[in-house]
Structure 1
């Protein structure tokens, strides 16, 4: 794991640290050879040199963005398309119960062709 990403995550509020560490675990369990790096101030995850996922933190939420996700179904109110059709975002706020297994499944589907 990338030390710069670890330091970034550890500086966050406790609830965001827990979510980010869980998302990080999802990425590495789903894509064991993922390359992790800080880019544009956010943890990015690549497979075979292609973007697979990003963890984006804001004051009141953590977003988990999956790339190559055009074919993935939305989950109403949780996992949906945002600015680009090839990206889907799970928006997680404090107190939200997160089904990490669903996110792992979606990441697996999206990253199969990377």
Structure 2
């Protein structure tokens, strides 16, 4: 547990069990897309939410019910190096962040699987050209 969160999930199962049904549905759909596009990624809970990496962190999924996030409802799909993505569709939320770009989903029907795949494949390509983190 850290000083910003009063949660400490010991496993991915604990994390998933904690989520309200609407967030769980979105998280499961996004995780399925991540694993479809990046089958060899490593998934690790960090800040009590799943982060996905290969050479470096590629993306994360942050539900609003997990404190310390910037949202109170819905689920964020974040790209750690979003500033390097082309964002050809103008789909990602940049805010005032320098590198992390996100998309917030309030309902599973808002997820455009093909568009998410495009962004995940581009993020994977960027990661493939990255040196491993020391």
Superposition TM-score tier, normalisation by shorter sequence: 0.7 to 0.9
Unaligned runs of 5+ in 1: none
| Larger-gyration structure (1/2) | 2
Distance 1:19 1:53, change over 3 A: same
Kept in 2: contact 1:81–1:89 (CA 8 A): yes
Unaligned runs of 5+ in 2: 1-9, 65-71, 128-134
TM-score, with normalisation over the residues of structure 2?
0.72
Match of 1:51 in 2: 57
Match of 1:8 in 2: 15
Q: Give the aligned CA root-mean-square deviation in angstroms.
A: 2.0
> Of residues 65, 86, 101 in structure 1, which corresponds to 2:78?
65
Match of 2:92 in 1: 79
- CA displacement at 1:83 relative to structure 2: 4.3
Match of 1:91 in 2: 104
Deviations 1:50-102 (CA, angstroms, capped at 9, x unpaired): 000111111411000012222332655x5221343322101011365210221
Higher strand share: 1
